[in-house]
Amino acid sequence: LAGKKLLIVPVSLLMADLEGIKSFLYAWLQKNQRTTPEYTFLQRSLRVEGIDYVGVGNSANKKDAQTNAARDFANYLVREKLLDEAQLPCVLVISLSLLTNPSAKRSMPLLGTKRPFEPRAMGPGDNYINRIFDQKKLEEVFIPYLRLQVGSQAEEVDFTSDIHGGWSLENAKARLNEYLQATRQQIGLVKYTAVGPDHNRSFLAESTVFAKRLNKHLYARETGSNKVMASRACCLSLVRQLYHAGEIEAYTGEKKKKKADEVPPTEFDIEPEVEEKLTCLLGKLGLEPNLEPPLPDPTSSEEHNMILHYKLADFEAQERQSAQSATMSLRQISAKYLEEHNQCLANPEYSALLAERSALPVHNFKARILDTIQNNQITLIKGETGCGKTTQVPQFILDSFIESGNGANCAVLVTQPRRICAISLAERMAFERCESIGTSVGYSVRFETVLPRPFGSVLFCTVGTMCRKMEAGLRGISHIVIDEIHERDVNTDFMLILIRDMIQANRDLRVVLMSATIDTTTFTDYFGDCALVELEGRTHPVTYYFLEDCVNMINYVPPPMDERKKKKRKMEDEVAADAEENCNLICPAEYPPLVARSLREMPEKEIPFTLIAGLLDHICAMNIEGAVLIFLPGWNVISTLKKFLQTHPRYSRAEYLILPLHSQVPREDQRIVFRPAPKGIVLSTNIAESSITINDVVFVIDSCLARIKMFTARNNLTSYSTVWASKTNLEQRRGRAGRVQAGFAFHLCRLGDVSAFLKKAIQPPPLDAVIEAEYTLREMKALDQNDELTPLGQILARLPLEPRLGRMLVFACAFGLGGAMALLAAHASLGSDPFVMPPDRRRLSNDQMRFEARTNSDHLAALNVYQVWAAERERNGDEAADYLCEVKELSASALRIRNILIGLDFPESALSDKPVNFNTNFCPEHAYIAALLTSGLYPNIAYHSEGRRLFTAEGKFALVHKASVNCRKNATFVFPLFTFTEKASLIKYCKSTTCFCLVCPA
């Protein structure tokens, strides 16, 4: 734009509702006795009889073109003094004030405001050429800039600055630089990592600072839509941690006030009867409006009963749960187990399975493992993937106790990182012991539990379930086995804190940490003395290749990139800035030039389906029997690749079995994956990376990517990022091959130096994150001022739900809607959806939309789905209900969650099946449920503008998700306020919306 001035306009102005200008113009013409305007959509123009002017408007659709033409015509009326500027809608007044500034006229085309077309002009003069040039610049320069600004606006929102000393994105970086300069530390040491595909790229910023008062380094790791936002967020986290550590003061300067989009106030009338009822209710409760109840006195000597009267977590070890064990002593129970064990040894089927187990490498270390566990409280077991440690070590422990006559004194808890791992491993171990699940082996995961016998048993569970069980203590638990310890997360670190305290109080408790790639130094430093057992050998060797090897092996040439993709990549400033980080641009000299050229033409983080198909052809040509396991980052990629292979001329044949493995796949379909299939192609996320073993897998194709979910409390945004898998993850995935014979692994990333991706010490979470979590819990009245759990907090701690959703469920029970809200809380917590859509469809079908039943609510539609399903099951049984799900494309597994929640901490009467009427225009329960959802999902509140447009509570722009029942053309709502489950960042979609009405039923 050389030689031109760039007119900077707030994005909120460009995104504002301009529909009012059309209505205003129609009213003005009618008042002045003018004819109705005529639009010519082909030329995008507006004409009015008697006025010698043509309003011009350009847009990608008819509606916006009309609006732009009306705006241009109104500009002309103001310039000709036919219309007073003060009469115009407020949004247009700002634009017209720019028109009176001569210096801004050359910049007007950047805003989409065109100079009028003069019908009497001969030929395309300079004005016409300039208008075409400016329109081109608008499309190529300003629209990508606009898209970037809309994303950064939502990121700049800050709900939590007041609890962090007033430090915000605007003032944090300058203060951090002052601190670094004062403490003589280097300024600007920030590491950036690009995450996500080119069309949805974000950046991760990491940095550390040394705090002298604490004598340790503070670490921050934040994301942003671009490097600037990521850097600012990272600096903000460090500054807030320094503030809470007492290193810096609170911010005392003036805060910059940003004018957010103005959401028009919504007025409604409350009937006198309703107002009287509210006043009466407040009087009975002793409450006054707008007054917070006083906090409890911390110095009060009043005694509180801390005994919990509601049901604790299941698997209370060594409780006499059966009538037979209730009359037997521990010695008698141990003798009984020994007798059953000896009978199993005489069983030919058990003997055959025992021979298979003895062939595993871990069996050679059985005596050493048992001796080490017996003589040490903490034992580290490090063994290659496939050595059998996950299934055999718990059985070694259990069988040793049974064979020594102490079987009743053994209770082993085994943690797994994922639900499917815990369930499949429990089923596998029960199979190896020739038992049905629930005898000596069981599992307990969120919403699904099969308990084993109370004595002499092994229970598999997820880490989150384990943390909830530890709240009631570990009475009767003899061993805790933490598998895949390298997959650390918040729950794992929290569990390790509890275990470290428990082993000090209980010297008989034994803890076993297992992994294929465990960092022994980390856990030795954390626990103190730890014994190490290293298992040698893998069953079969695995030959592995990297991207350049794969390209060279099959002579792969990527398909030509179309012009649209080329243009998009050129517009990505961040991609250009990070070109030097693109490893595909560097090819070792030992490879031919064709390989180097192919690598350069392959986007680094895009998964090449054609290359995967070429590798599958290469595998078929090898004539080696065995299944293929393909690691992919998420469900969308799995669905897309499955569809790609199903349309492939070779792999669409019936002889090839394409099986997805994902948490969204029903349990029955997941079991099919574990059945032998010589020509099976399994498409899986990282859930098949550890613990789960598909025995017939010989080939692994690894995309080297993983999808992670991140939530930023500062701006209430949820984002999903596709990131590179670590070197440890690649080794784990490689180990999935070669279980039955020599295997092959194809990693679709270049071989290069792998930088450190994990810190080598178990670290606490950032201090600012802890402060925000405590603030949220206090705001919910779950924590008191002494950081003790309130009665409400004690209930929420035992629910497998987020605290806000748990509180919503508690309130619902008081309204007699516990059953309905249990289903909706489970849906919100798991992110499950009652509707299933094919990969090629983004919107709901007409049959699915009918479940909305005029409620304008995704949540109530889900509840309606459940009631229809439950009624069908009651009338015709489970098979008919499953058929209904298939016909209506419903997810049966998500619907069963509500029944499982019935068994949690609330009495069944509070979660009764009170039906909600969906056959009437207004049902009181609809308003109650909407109000409860608002309390549980707050601050996820939005105001409906038009179409799919919403303005969130912070005044930022968002869209209704396309898979919502509220995503309809020309949708109108009686009440414009919505609550929503989740707001996805970057794209800014509001998922699972509900329109709520404040008119209370009589």
For the chain, list the domains and their CATH numbers. 11-151 (3.30.160.20), 161-244 (3.30.160.20), 323-535 (3.40.50.300), 542-747 (3.40.50.300), 769-793 (no CATH), 799-995 (no CATH)
Do the beta carbons of residue 571 and residue 772 sit within 8 Å?
A: no
How high is the pLDDT of residue 432?
A: 92
CA atoms within 13 A on the CB side of 35: 9
H helix runs in 195-291, sequence order: 227-244, 272-285
Quick check: 596 and 586 in contact, CB under 8 A? no
What pLDDT, on a 0 to 100 scale, did the predictor assign at position 672? Answer: 74
34 phi, psi to nearest 5 deg: -105, 160
Question: Is the Cβ–Cβ distance between 973 and 944 less than 8 Å?
Answer: yes
Question: Cβ contacts of residue 181 below 8 Å, gap of 6+?
Answer: 187
Give the Cα separation of 420 and 458 in Å (integer).
Answer: 17
What stretches of 632-777 adopt beta strand conformation (E)?
657-661, 680-684, 697-702, 705-712, 717-724, 743-747
Residues 901, 261: Cα–Cα separation, whole Å: 41
How many angstroms separate the CA atoms of 660 and 642, rounded?
8
Phi, psi of 383 (to 5 degrees): -145, 145
Partners of 209 in the β-ladder: 218
Helices (H), 700-817: 727-734, 767-779, 791-797, 803-814
Would you state the pLDDT for residue 74? 81
Instruction: Report the SS3 class of residue 657.
Output: strand
In this structure, are residues 518 and 380 in contact, taking their beta carbons and an 8 Å threshold? Answer: yes
Task: End-to-end CA distance of the chain: give it in Å, rounded.
Answer: 63
The pLDDT, as a whole number, for residue 118 is 36
Handedness of CA 394, 396, 399, 405 (dihedral sign): negative
**Which residues is 723 bridged to in the sheet?**
706
In Å, what is the CA distance from 462 to each residue of 492, 495, 847?
A: 10, 11, 37
Rounded Cα gap, residues 170 and 181, in angstroms? 19
Beta strands per DSSP E along 472-617: 479-482, 510-515, 531-535, 542-545
Q: Two tokens at 936?
A: 């549980």
State how far the Cα of 216 lies from the Cα of 209, in Å rounded to an integer.
9
Closest CA to 411 of 496, 489, 321, 344: 321
pLDDT of residue 479: 93
d(CA 846, CA 593): 54
- DSSP assigned state of 441: E
DSSP category for residue 789: B
Between the CA of residue 470 and those of 234, 480, 906, what are the distances in Å? 34, 11, 20
**Around Cβ 289, how many Cβ atoms within 10 Å?**
7
- Give CA separation, 145 vs 4, 108, 572, in Å: 17, 16, 10
Token code pair at residue 966 = 């509220």
DSSP 8-state secondary structure symbol assigned to residue 724: E
Both tokens assigned to 929 = 């449920």
SS3 category, 55: strand
The size of the chain, in residues, is 1002
pTM (2 d.p.): 0.51
Spatial distance between the Cα atoms of 414 and 796, rounded to a whole number of angstroms: 25
Residue pair 221/158 in contact (Cβ under 8 Å)? The answer is: no
| Beta strand ranges found along 603-677 (DSSP E) | 627-631, 657-661
Residue 197 CA to residue 19 CA, distance in Å, equals: 35
Q: Got the DSSP string for 394-437?
A: HHHHHHHHHHTT-GGG-EEEEEESSHHHHHHHHHHHHHHTT--T
Query: In the chain, what's the furthest Cα-to-Cα distance?
Result: 108
The pair of structure tokens assigned to 639 is 């669905």
Name the helix (H) or strand (E) containing 204. strand 202-211
Whose tokens are 């109000």? That residue is: 931
Cα angle, residue 67 at apex, residues 62 and 73 outer, rounded to 5° = 125
Q: Tens of pLDDT along 778-836?
A: 878 888 877 777 888 877 776 767 788 888 888 888 777 877 777 777 666 656 566 66
Which residue in the block uniquely carries the two structure tokens 């008191």? Answer: 784
Angle at 455 between CA 451 and CA 460, to 5 degrees: 40
Other Cβ atoms closer than 10 A to 959: 16
Q: How far apart are CA 795 and CA 309, in angstroms?
A: 10
Question: What residues does 380 pair with on adjacent strands?
Answer: 513, 532
| Residue 489: closest CA among 219, 765, 780, 693 | 765
CA distance 632 to 641: 9
DSSP assignment letter at 959: E
Q: Which residue has the tokens 């090449």?
A: 608
What are the residues whose beta carbons fall under 8 Å from the beta carbon of 668, sequence distance 6 or more?
Answer: none
Running along the chain, 1002 residues long, what does each successive block of 10 average in pLDDT? Answer: 40 43 70 67 63 73 74 79 66 40 36 36 42 43 43 62 84 88 84 70 84 84 83 89 88 64 60 78 74 49 44 42 64 91 90 88 91 92 82 94 92 88 88 91 85 91 82 80 79 81 84 79 76 76 87 86 52 42 66 83 80 91 88 84 88 85 68 73 79 77 77 56 72 75 85 36 58 78 78 76 80 79 71 63 73 79 79 72 55 46 58 71 78 81 78 74 76 77 63 65 38
b/e burial code for range 960-976 (CB count within 10 A of at least 16 → b): bbebbbbbbeeeeeeeb
| DSSP SS3 for 252 | coil
